[in-house]
């Protein structure tokens, strides 16, 4: 009788360890998937910005904050901020 109880207890502990390891593996996989999802969301956002930019400015390209078009005009992007030196 005692041997049966010991055997069942051993089997249950082994099963518990296996289940806990399986849970840890699934949690790790879930964290990896969340990180990949966040990366894809960021890349998608950047691509969307680029598409919107190209749709807005046509075939222009950006150089150091300046957007230069292959047309007859140049669009310059100016960052807002305080201008010092004028009284």
In a domain, 70, yes or no: no
Query: pLDDT tens digits, residue range 6-20?
Result: 999 999 999 999 999
Q: 14-53: b or e for each residue (b if 16 or more CB lie within 10 Å)?
A: eeeeeeeeeeeeeeeeeeeeeeeeeeeeeeeeeeeeeeee
Domain count, the chain: 1
* pTM higher than 0.85: no
Give percent above pLDDT 90 in the chain: 41
In a domain, 77, yes or no: no
Q: What is the CA radius of gyration of the chain?
A: 30
In a domain, 76, yes or no: no
In a domain, 8, yes or no: yes
In a domain, 69, yes or no: no
Range of the domain at 48: 2-58
In a domain, 78, yes or no: no
């Amino acid at each position: 009788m005692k041997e049966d109880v010991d055997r069942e207890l051993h089997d249950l502990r082994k099963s518990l360890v296996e289940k806990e390891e399986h849970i840890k593996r699934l949690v790790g996989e879930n964290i990896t998937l969340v990180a990949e999802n966040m990366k894809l969301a960021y890349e998608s956002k950047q691509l969307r910005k680029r598409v919107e930019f190209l749709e807005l400015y046509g075939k222009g390209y950006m150089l150091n904050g300046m957007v230069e078009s292959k047309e007859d005009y140049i669009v310059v992007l100016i960052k807002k901020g305080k201008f010092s030196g004028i009284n």
